[in-house]
Amino acid sequence: MHFGSVPTVGVDALTPADFLLDVREDDEWEAGHAEGALHIPMSDFVARYAELTEKAPEGGKVYVLCRVGGRSAQVTQYLVQQGVDAVNVEGGMQSWEAAGRPVVTDQGGAGTVI
C-alpha cells in the first residue's frame, strides 16, 4: 500500500510529551495500549472526530498509531486533509512494544499488542 506523502516517524522519535492517537479497534485497545493515548477506532473516526479536536494540543502534532501502520496512515492522511499536523507512527503498536515502550491496560496493568 502506498499512501502518497503521509508524514511518518519511527517510534524512537516519540517522547512522553507527544500526543498519541490510537485508531485500533476496541478489542485491540483493551488488550494493551500506550499510556495516555487517546483511543478513537478508525471505524468510528469520522463520527467521533470532535473528540480529537477537543483533546489534541492546540497547534500541536498528533501521532497516529494502529497495530502495524496501515490504518493509522489512512487516518493521518485524513487529518492532514483537515489541516491537522498529523504524523503516522511507522510500525504502530508492534514497533512500540518491540522498542520496549510500556503497553498497559485500562486497569493500569501490563498489556499486550494483539
Q: Which residues carry out catalysis?
A: 66
- Alpha-carbon distance of 37 to 7, in angstroms, equals 19
Residue 3 one-letter amino acid: F
- Kindly give the pairing relationship between strand 86-89 and strand 8-9: parallel
